[in-house]
A and B are shown apart, each in its own frame.
Chain A
């Protein structure tokens, strides 16, 4: 059985994705595109759209997994004429090991655009922004072309498809920081200010961009929307292997035979993903542990290699589905080196607003370097444990960056305790250490 064949019935998200040459409006429509939008504008009320999306049990694909329709329902019910509102696609995708949104914007940008137009109608937004990772040059170019095409074809602008509905969409490349992916920091960045996260509540749905109602969804989330509206709730729920609706872009990186992105029913087992899609581990490597959904999810040991990758199960096992793109740790790599690399990233990407993250994470990184390079002491392990305990729980820091950063550390300290202790006892650099990196100051 092939997990990559184009199949609009089973794998709608990737069905029209063409990395070499994304479909233009005509090709997109031929493949079923804009059916959802046409149906919406032909007679559904905004509230009906919200309800349908809510009932489809589409949950956010950006990492937190919040019910998308429910999120939209928090937007004050005002028409476009009454108040400006915004819809924002989060394409920052700087999570190490996550590279799914890139496929969607490069391979089928119109699908995202259609999803955003439908969402805009649902919340009566007037303006939309696609916030794209700065390094996604190709995606940026293709998105810009697609926006122009959609405009030319009357899907953007005023009186869309003859309905009493106007919507403008722009693409905005990120200045390039991980924190810009955090939705409130993203909004602040869009305002032209320093990308610091904001206090919640008030949630962006009520007070977002320039204080106006704003919905931020992940690119994959939006890309699901046209299919729900085109094919209905039942069809969408039927795609899934679990309680929630739809397919999911899963992925694997690390020492697998075929690392990559795969569209599978939501709730597919890790075993299917790793063994069948990715072809299992490369010769000579065994799976030691993995981060199920990006760098900011906790390690799961090899005993979870066949875990159900829905929203609930990884959480029960102490981790999260996150972005759904797993990073593998094999038996020949140094777990300390891997954690060191991750914490280097998180320390560097701390926005600097709150103390535990700003000053705690660089300390964590320095301790890991110390241990990784054979200069560690038992005290250093104790300090790491302190940090994990004190920074990790939600609410200790201003945003979720730091708890995310602590997830691989805290779980790693438990899972790889012996490695830590051995390194400290030996006083030698770890073997198979991941390539050394620059240090966050």
Chain B
């Protein structure tokens, strides 16, 4: 700690931080633009000017940029100094010379950092009397709007996009006050992280395009803390609602996980909650026609079904653990299925088992950013867990930081630190069957088939620790690769192994686990991360259950009376004939879901569940972090959370007493009690009766307008605000709101004078550190397990003559389930194309997957071996998800023409 003096006040500054951070942490409002807590300082905007004095005798002082000046012991600065103040005011005046001042029609208005800083500096009189220069805007695709005239040239966008996220298609053009931030021509932004520009840009240049269509001012929207549902990373989000509709998704800071940034699937994938695909009433399907029925009738119907034999329940990795547990409790553990078919079921089960018991550390994203060697083993992380790939990319920055330490440069001095590491690649070694987006930044990218990657992994583990299972028939090349990778991991201090369930291969997961365990035996602070298929796969696999294959067998044996499918679409797991057989062999198919899936379309009874925006619940991410999402919408009956449907079914069918939960708190408590592994989920967030200083926390700002007018076309009466027993947040503007609120309850970021997302600074104990309101989420796994080595190396994968090995090619946009009901993601997803190995050009392929034949566009990819093809899961064959052998006929370009 260093003591510094801000306008005569002695404050403690953290060692090595800069004066701007020190001021903000000391509660002194100092305006800034180009500095960003995660991107560091570059000194471009000159907005953070303060006066610095050499010593107590120095009365003249010197203007310095706070963000570029270290807070050294005894530093004396003045923020209030008239010269510094005048300069800061003038900076805003300069920035405003060409600014359009179109706040009333600007979508940043009301949450604009430029507005806030303008007010803060006190600049109010426009003296620039000349014409403004104007720019042309670009069409940047379906996600991000572009209005360049509002730019104040702070350079944050390009620094985030290029330096932080490794994107290349956004840049700075031209010079002087004509600088232009955009692409070289209109076109969809290529980065999977483009949506962060909306929050990174302090003005209305980059705004949220889908939000624009359902726009509302920040102050007019309700907010609630939520958790992303689109992959197993578990990024924290804020959902905004107005008039019953979710309007947009924002990043919610979680020190350990997503910090300041989300991926675009997470930000734009939530449109499904408003989509026409939503199921809004209970229904009764007869002859393929769905007839809406009242809830009472639906329950009666269920009671009737229940008499027809055993009930089997199918849970889901996209439902909360409370709902999954409710179903399991109702049908009994022996009749509960995870919803995964083999081999995925085995792989996810094994993965979670490994994560729960490994002797390596299961690291949160932020912890992995400081790894000094990362081995990605058979998982296209950029597609299956995008935010994780962004975190791994930061290992390059960590390497730069080490050089900075040597040169005694502070890490926040962004440009010089990057320059020092100009030649560095990220210390990442990618071993995958097909090219991935991480290859360009990685030290090396190796290609091998899934089983061969597993072999390599086993060999690496064995090289590191001879006690790990060996691989008997290694080729020279395999040995060389294994030795090189083992050596790279062994020289690292903090090696991290990343794998996942993409190829549904238990051998691959065992290999990854063995490497991590072997590194631990060598005294390394090794980390292990396994990407899982869905947001709550961890929760479901921990509870455990039957595979879908087992359910099918039972059904065919006539042992299933009623099949209850909860928030799952079995057609993504079972091919058309298997699904059909299953449906025909159970007496009744009951579906609980928020959307009309192909499974729901076959349901005899279908009931509408809430989406995650309309209920509360707990999800467990791939690192075993249990996180609570809260409702932002107060849905109308008959919509209710899945566990309430299960409860009602239980009661209707005479199972009183099994499930008597009335509130989410009871559901959480019962789940925690029922599954020992989940004992800690009760700590994931405060209960519904939580009060701060004797009041509930409000989820609306105190400036909400049109509270009654908004529904004046229906009734002019003031209606009471909606309530819910499941959330500690009050639905309206009455209640308390402070920067010390529990971190899990922050509905939006805003403090007086700081209306933009930048107000986050005020909620943190220190910049980029812990939230004042404590941790977000609890880990349901211990620090470290004691598992030893497991598994055996598979045989070398031999390609076949007459068949092609079809591998799942996941995509950030396109292969997700719920995100593809969301218009922006649909628009962002590109056509399904099969990539065929080899040099021969192809135009289309005819491909037989299971019993079905598909005729699809194709391209050849010389990076793939002959005899291998890639297919995006669910986009061609609905159920296709795991590697398989298929017959494939290529149609060349000429033949196609």
- What is the bound-complex CA distance between A210 and B418, given in angstroms? 10
Picked from B63, B90, B155, B423, the residue with its CB within 8 Å of the CB of A393 is B63
A400 contacts the other chain (CB 8 A): no
Chain A neighbourhood of B409, CB < 8 A: 201-202
A396 within 8 Å of B (CB atoms): yes
A182: Cβ under 8 A from any B Cβ: no
The reply to whether the CB of A352 lies closer than 8 angstroms to some CB of chain B is yes
**Contact A398/B94 with A210-B422, A211-B422 known, Cβ cut-off 8 Å:** no
Which B residues from 497 to 518 make CB contacts under 8 A with A? Answer: none
A350-B176, A390-B87, A441-B133 known; A355+B416 contact, CB < 8 A:
no
A386 to B172, alpha carbons, bound, how many Å? Answer: 29
B-chain residues with CB within 8 Å of residue A362 when the two chains form the complex: 97, 176-177
Contact of B174 among A179, A352, A355, A363 (CB under 8 A): A352
- Are B63 and A211 closer than 8 Å at their CB atoms? no
**Is residue A66 contacting chain B, with contact meaning CB distance below 8 A?**
no
Q: Does B413 contact A (CB under 8 A)?
A: yes
CB contact under 8 A between A198 and B416, given known A348-B176, A441-B176: yes
Contact of A158 with B by CB under 8 A: no
Confirm or deny: B42 has a beta carbon within 8 angstroms of a beta carbon on chain A.
yes
CA distance A348 to B133 in the complex (A): 14
Nearest residue, chain B, Cβ from A379: B127
Assess whether A359 is in contact with B63, with CB atoms less than 8 Å apart: no
Within 8 A of B (CB), among A326-376: 347-356, 358-363, 366
Interface flag for B472 (CB, 8 Å): no
Contact B174 A396 (CB under 8 A): no
Residues of B in contact, count (CB < 8 Å): 46
Is residue A438 within 8 Å, beta carbon to beta carbon, of the partner chain? no
Flag whether A207 is at the interface (Cβ < 8 A): yes
Q: Do the beta carbons of A211 and B175 come within 8 Å of each other?
A: no
Tell whether, in the assembled complex, residue A199 and residue B177 are in contact, meaning their CB atoms are under 8 Å apart: no
Among residues of B, the one whose C-beta sits closest to the C-beta of A210 is: B422
Q: Are A390 and B407 in contact (CB under 8 A)?
A: no
Q: Is B128 an interface residue (CB 8 A)?
A: yes
Contact pick for B47, options A211, A349, A355, A366, CB 8 Å? A355
CB distance B42 to A390 under 8 Å?
no
> Taking A363-B94, A395-B62 as contacts, is the C-beta distance between A207 and B178 under 8 angstroms?
no
Q: How far is the CA of A194 from the CA of B95 in the complex (A)?
A: 22
Partner of A352, one of B49, B68, B178: B178
Alpha-carbon separation in the docked complex, A97 to B860 (Å): 60
Interface residue count on the A side (C-beta < 8 Å)? 40
| A355 close to B44 (CB less than 8 A) | yes
With contacts A194-B172, A359-B95, A362-B177 taken as known, whether A353 is within 8 angstroms of B420 at the C-beta atoms is no
Q: Are B176 and A355 in contact, with the CB atoms below 8 A?
A: no
- The answer to whether A397 and B46 touch across the interface, beta carbons within 8 angstroms, is yes
**Least CB distance, A201 to chain B, in whole angstroms:** 8
Contacts of B95 in A (CB 8 A): 355, 359
Instruction: Report the minimal beta-carbon distance from A169 to chain B, rounded to whole angstroms.
Output: 21
The reply to whether B415 and A363 contact each other, CB–CB distance below 8 Å, is: no
Please name the residue on chain A nearest to B132 by beta carbon. Answer: A441
Asked whether, in the complex, the Cβ of B176 is within 8 Å of the Cβ of A211, the reply is no
Cross-chain contact B175 with A355 (CB below 8 angstroms): no
Given contacts A198-B419, A202-B416, contact A396 B46 (CB under 8 A): yes
Closest to B158 in A: A194
B94 in contact with A207 (CB, 8 Å): no
* B175 touching A396, Cβ below 8 Å: no
Contact of B176 among A202, A361, A390 (CB under 8 A): A361
A269 beta carbon closer than 8 Å to chain B: no
Bound: A159/B531 CA distance, A: 55
Chain B residues with CB below 8 A from A366, complex form: 130
Q: How far is the CA of A347 from the CA of B175 in the complex (A)?
A: 10
- Give min CB distance, A74 to chain B, whole Å: 13
Contacts of B177 in A (CB 8 A): 350, 352, 358-359, 362, 440-441
Check A137 for interface membership: any CB of B closer than 8 A. no
Instruction: Tell me whether B777 is interfacial, beta carbon within 8 Å.
Output: no
The reply to whether the CB of A383 lies closer than 8 angstroms to some CB of chain B is: yes
Q: Is A206 an interface residue (CB 8 A)?
A: yes
A398 touches B133 (CB 8 A): no
Mask, B146-157, CB within 8 Å of A = 1, is: 000000110100
The CA of A393 and the CA of B216, in the complex, are separated in Å by 45
**Looking across the interface, which residue of chain B has its beta carbon closest to that of A386?**
B90
User: In the docked arrangement, what's the CA distance between A206 and B404, Å?
Assistant: 12
With an 8 A cutoff between CB atoms, is A141 at the interface?
no
Inter-chain contact A353/B155, CB cutoff 8 Å = yes
A407 to B764, CA, bound (A): 44
Residue contact B423 to A211, C-beta cutoff 8 Å: yes
Residue in chain A with minimal CB distance to B419: A211
Residue of B nearest to A346 (CB): B176
> Quick one: which of B44, B97, B407, B416 contacts A353, CB cutoff 8 A?
B44
Closest-by-CB residue of B relative to A208 is B419
Contact of A441 among B45, B91, B178, B422 (CB under 8 A): B178
Q: B133: which A residues are within 8 A, CB to CB?
A: 441
Q: Whose C-beta in chain B lies nearest to the C-beta of A369?
A: B130
Q: Which residue of B lies closest to A367 (CB)?
A: B130
**What's the nearest-Cβ distance from chain A to residue B221, in Å?**
32
B334 CB within 8 Å of chain A: no
Whether the pair A177, B175 counts as a contact (CB closer than 8 A) is yes
Of the candidates B91, B172, B416, the one whose C-beta lies within 8 Å of that of A356 is B91
A199-B413, A202-B407, A366-B130 in contact; A352/B63 too (CB < 8 A)?
Answer: no
Enumerate chain B residues within 8 angstroms of A211, measured Cβ to Cβ. Answer: 403, 419-423
A206 to B406, CA, bound (A): 12
- In whole angstroms, how far apart are the Cα atoms of A363 and B403 in the complex? 41
CA A395 to CA B130, docked complex, whole Å: 28
B407:A206 contact, CB within 8 angstroms: yes
CA distance A351 to B46 in the complex (A): 15
User: Which residues of B (165-194) have their CB < 8 Å from a CB of A?
Assistant: 171-172, 174-179
The answer to whether A199 touches B97 (Cβ under 8 A) is: no
Indicate if the CB atoms of B175 and A352 lie closer than 8 Å: yes
Find the residue from A198, A199, A201 having the highest chain B CB count within 10 A: A199
- B94 A355 Cβ-Cβ under 8 A: yes
Q: Is A135 an interface residue (CB 8 A)?
A: no
List chain B residues, Cβ under 8 A from A361.
Answer: 176
Determine if B179 and A354 form an interchain contact, defined as CB atoms under 8 angstroms apart: no
Chain B residues, Cβ within 8 Å of A359: 94-95, 97-98, 177
- Chain A residues within an 8 Å CB radius of B407: 202, 206-207
- Asked if B64 and A395 sit within 8 Å, CB to CB, the answer is yes
Instruction: Tell me if A234 counts as interface (CB < 8 A to partner B).
Output: no
Residues A139-158 near B (CB distance < 8 A): none
Chain B residue contacts of A353, Cβ below 8 A:
44, 155
Which one, A207, A347, A398, A440, contacts B420 given CB within 8 A?
A: A207
Interface of chain A residues 174 through 191 with chain B (CB within 8 A) = 177, 179, 191
What are the interface flags for B220-244 relative to A under an 8 Å C-beta threshold, 1 for contact and 0 otherwise?
A: 0000000000000000000000000
- Measured CB to CB, the closest approach of chain B to A14, in angstroms, equals 35
Option from A198, A206, A396 in Cβ contact (under 8 Å) with B87: A396
Q: Specify the chain A residue showing the minimal Cβ separation from B127.
A: A383
Residue in B closest to A380 when the chains form the complex, CB atoms: B129
Nearest CB of chain B from residue A372's CB, rounded to whole Å: 14
For B43, B127, B178, B419, the residue with the greatest tally of chain A CB atoms inside 10 Å of its CB is: B419
Closest beta carbon of chain B to A311's beta carbon, Å = 23
Write the A29-42 contact mask toward B (1 if CB under 8 angstroms, else 0): 00000000000000
Could you tell me which A residues sit within 8 Å of B by CB distance? Answer: 177, 179, 191, 194, 198-199, 201-202, 206-207, 210-211, 347-356, 358-363, 366, 379, 383, 386, 390, 393, 395-398, 440-441
Task: Please give me the 3 A-B residue pairs with the lowest Cβ-Cβ distance, nearest first.
Answer: A359-B94, A352-B179, A350-B176
Can you name 30 A-B pairs with beta carbons within 8 Å?
Answer: A194-B171, A199-B43, A199-B68, A199-B416, A202-B407, A202-B420, A206-B407, A207-B419, A210-B419, A211-B420, A352-B176, A352-B177, A355-B47, A355-B94, A356-B46, A358-B177, A359-B94, A359-B177, A362-B97, A362-B177, A363-B94, A379-B127, A383-B127, A386-B90, A393-B63, A395-B63, A396-B87, A398-B43, A441-B133, A441-B178
Q: A210-B422, A396-B63 are in contact. List 5 more A-B contacts (CB 8 A).
A: A177-B175, A199-B413, A354-B46, A355-B91, A390-B86
